Amino acid sequence: MFDKFKNEEGGELVEERNEGVKETSSVTESTSQIGIGELIGKRTKLEEAIDYVGLMIKNLKDKRTLLEKDIEEESVDIKNLKEKLQKVSEYIEEENRGIEELVNKRKQVENEADEVGSIINSLREKLSSVDRVIDDEGSKVKKIKESRDSP
């Protein structure tokens, strides 16, 4: 692009020289020595660089916007997961309370079963005792009958 400006200005200078105007030639030589053409070229390159930097800034803003959107979506997803985990935790606590209640009920039933077992053993002993008394009394009655039948 600098070459374009240099060529255009250089072309004008050549035309002025061809016309034979010495003052224009000296002004042109001093302009070339000053470097206006190069300065214009540098300005053009700087403008292009600024445009490029502006484009880079726009791209960075777009990327940042996308990242913000992605982060927000992840934040929402994480909040949803956290809520689900809290519900699971509450469910587990509820189940643990239920299990604890069942354990207590089982202990009560087990204690009652032990009591029933003790009552059964006690009654069995009493029945055995009654059975022995009946056997003893039956033996006595049998002996008495035998003693009556024997004379």
Q: Note the pTM of the prediction, 2 decimals.
A: 0.46
Distances in Å between the alpha carbon of 107 and those of 69, 101, 103, 104? 56, 10, 6, 5
Residue ranges in the chain whose pLDDT is less than 50? 1-24, 27
Phi-psi region of 94 (alpha: psi -120 to 50; beta: other; left: phi over 0): alpha
In this predicted structure, what is the pLDDT of residue 2? 42
Which SS3 state, helix, strand or coil, does residue 151 take?
A: coil
Mean pLDDT computed over every residue of the chain? 83
